[in-house]
Amino acid sequence: MERHAENNCPTAHKAPVAPYYAVIFSSTLSDNAEGYGAMADRMVALAKEQEGFIDVESAARTSGGFGITVSYWRDLESIRKWKNVSEHAAAQRMGRDAFYKNYRLRVARVERDYAFERDE
């Protein structure tokens, strides 16, 4: 059964009514990524403390080092503030200086949101 997120969905605590915003971060690690895991974990914990944070989803890195993290935010202002949190800004520099071979960052406005949950 497909449900609209705004219609009494069981995961509604994570489902604000659209529109809200997504930051889609897809990246490939460099060969010089020692310490990356601890930094990534810390950034997730720090993001969760920010005003306007909604949720974050990460999918595991393959052996090739490719991964996707999508974070969700109330509005563009929350994303702008999170980008400029000093510890996060330092992590971004470390990412560019050492951890990442490449990345792609997209800011997107979520317009529709559906959740499916199996009825057991």
- Which residues contact its own copies (rule: CB under 8 A)? 1-2, 11, 18, 22, 24, 26, 30, 57-62, 66-68, 70, 96, 100-118
Positive or negative CA dihedral for 59, 70, 2, 74?
positive
* Closer by beta carbon to its own copies, 18 or else 85: 18
Closest CA to 94 of 48, 23, 24, 37: 37
Q: Which is nearer to its own copies, 42 or 109 (CB)?
A: 109
Backbone angles phi, psi at 28, to 5 degrees: -125, 130
3-state secondary structure of 92: helix
Nearer to its own copies, 51 or 114 (CB): 114
Nearest approach in angstroms of CB 116 to its own copies is: 5
Helix (H) or strand (E) holding 27: strand 20-29
State the nearest-atom distance from the C-beta of 30 to its own copies, in Å. 6
Nearer to its own copies, 46 or 68 (CB): 68
Find the shortest distance in angstroms from Cβ 5 to its own copies: 8
Contact residues for 78 (Cβ-Cβ < 8 A; gap 6+): 21, 50, 51, 52, 53
Q: How far is the CB of 25 from its own copies (least distance, A)?
A: 10
